[in-house]
Amino acid sequence: MEKTSRLKNFLKNLFSKQKLAVLATQDRKQPYGNLVAFMATDDLKHLLFATTRATRKYKNISRNPRIAMVVDNRSNQENDFHKAAAVTATGVVKETLGPQKRRFQKLYLSKHPYLKEFVSSPTCALLRMDVETYYVVRQFQNVVEFQIDK
């Protein structure tokens, strides 16, 4: 129990400090990666990000909603090989709509207020990843798998 609590605290701390994540989507033949501004819900069950509906990432998600998102704390220094941590979240993404969109938009903008105009645009989709698993890598080779309870 304490190990789970420490892991949750680690994830919350990392997610609060990092503004960007790498989103991985898949089209029919090729993986595709993007930087996205993200926000984690306090219970760690969801990761939020926004994109316009005209993007390749949105089209990929429309075809295949299974995604991965990577968040890390690297500094691009040699000591990253011993001190950096990276988290890969895997799960399914859905567009938020109606009252849920308003609630998640408020949460998302609490972290990214400078994206208000972008997120409020009618061409923008606020997306919610329902996280199934976090893979946490620390100290170069220490890997922990953390399943999210539904």
Percent share of the chain, pLDDT over 90 = 77
Residue numbers of the domain that contains 133: 2-147
Beta carbons within 8 Å of 8's beta carbon, 6+ residues apart: 44
pLDDT at residue 1 is higher than 60: no
pLDDT of residue 150: 66
pLDDT of residue 52: 97
* Mean pLDDT, residues 77-84 taken together: 81
pLDDT of residue 89: 98
Any bridge partners for residue 93, and if so which?
129
* Mean pLDDT, residues 24-47 taken together: 95
In the chain, which ranges are E strands? Answer: 20-26, 31-40, 46-52, 66-72, 85-95, 124-138, 142-147
* Nearest alpha carbon to residue 64 among 96, 40, 32: 32
pLDDT at residue 82 is higher than 90: no
- Read off the CATH number of the domain in which 113 is found: 2.30.110.10
How many domains does one find in the chain? 1
- Please state, in angstroms and rounded to a whole number, the distance separating the CA atoms of residues 146 and 148: 7
Residue-by-residue DSSP string for 90-130 = EEEEEE--HHHHHHHHHHHHHH-GGGHHHHHSTTEEEEEEE
Neighbours of 79 (CB within 10 A): 9
